């Protein structure tokens, strides 16, 4: 069922029996293919290039959507946090898997990086009432807007967001700067 398993360990320079980059160690047991590895490395590199530090997290790819509760991606907070990506035949050059991975990693980043004042300023900017409340539509959650904005700002190609409102480039750029204190990578 699972292909890639990765564990974000913080600064890592070497690892026994694993391939390492500066900040991530990939446990190669269960890798489905090199496309999974390339996609994960690409996404972590985008966060690194933007100066957005991810918390410790596990990352897993799955052939079906069960681990993602029927979705293509799912974030769970915890120590470590976990991100599951489900139901894609992964190809790092397709926009949907790239956007989904950035979106789910953005949840992990936002959970550890944003204080209540920043979340409230973001809600005001986006015209939203709640950060996360399951009694309202997904597209009205501040946490989902934040994940979409971060994914947009980190993407290396044009990304048209249709799942949230306020998706003109200047609006998204202003929201990205409010969340991160940095300009988007675009």
Question: Of 76, 73, 75, 56, which is closest to residue 65 (Cα–Cα)?
Answer: 73
Residue 26 binned pLDDT confidence (cut-offs 50, 70, 90): low
pLDDT of residue 34: 74
Whether the predicted pLDDT of 38 surpasses 60:
yes
HSE-up (13 A, CA, CB side) for residue 175? 32
pLDDT of residue 62: 80
pLDDT of residue 91: 55
pLDDT of residue 58: 82
Question: Average of pLDDT values for 11-19?
Answer: 33
Q: List C-alpha distances in Å: 6 to 38, 41, 77, 163.
A: 12, 10, 16, 28
* Integer Cα distance of 44 and 28 in angstroms: 16
> Phi and psi at residue 148, in whole multiples of 5°?
-65, -45
End-to-end CA separation in angstroms for the chain = 35
Whether the predicted pLDDT of 1 surpasses 70:
no
Place of tokens 């209540």: 116
Question: Average of pLDDT values for 108-127?
Answer: 97
Segments making up each domain of the chain, as ranges:
1-93, 114-180
Question: Average of pLDDT values for 117-140?
Answer: 96
Whether the predicted pLDDT of 110 surpasses 60:
yes
Q: Are residues 69 and 75 in contact, defined by beta-carbon separation less than 8 angstroms? A: no
Mean pLDDT, all residues of the chain = 82
Residue 89 binned pLDDT confidence (cut-offs 50, 70, 90): low
Percent of the chain at pLDDT > 70 equals 80
User: What's this model's pTM, rounded to 2 decimal places?
Assistant: 0.83
């Amino acid at each position: 069922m699972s292909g890639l398993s990765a564990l974000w360990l913080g600064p890592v320079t070497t690892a026994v029996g694993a391939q390492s980059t500066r900040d991530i160690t990939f446990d190669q047991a269960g890798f489905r293919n090199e496309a999974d590895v390339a996609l994960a490395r690409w996404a972590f590199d985008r966060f690194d290039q933007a100066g957005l530090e991810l918390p410790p997290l596990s990352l897993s790819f799955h052939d079906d959507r069960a681990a993602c509760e029927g979705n293509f991606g799912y974030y769970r907070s915890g120590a470590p946090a976990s991100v599951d990506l489900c139901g894609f035949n992964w190809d790092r050059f397709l926009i949907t898997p790239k956007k989904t991975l950035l979106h789910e990693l953005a949840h992990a980043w936002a959970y550890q990086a944003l204080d209540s004042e920043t979340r409230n300023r973001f809600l005001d900017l986006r015209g939203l009432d709640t950060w996360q409340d399951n009694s309202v539509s997904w597209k009205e959650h501040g946490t989902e807007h934040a994940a979409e904005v971060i994914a947009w700002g980190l993407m290396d190609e044009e990304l048209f967001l249709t799942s949230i409102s306020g998706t003109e480039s200047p609006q998204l750029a202003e929201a990205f700067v409010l969340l991160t204190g940095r300009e988007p990578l675009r």
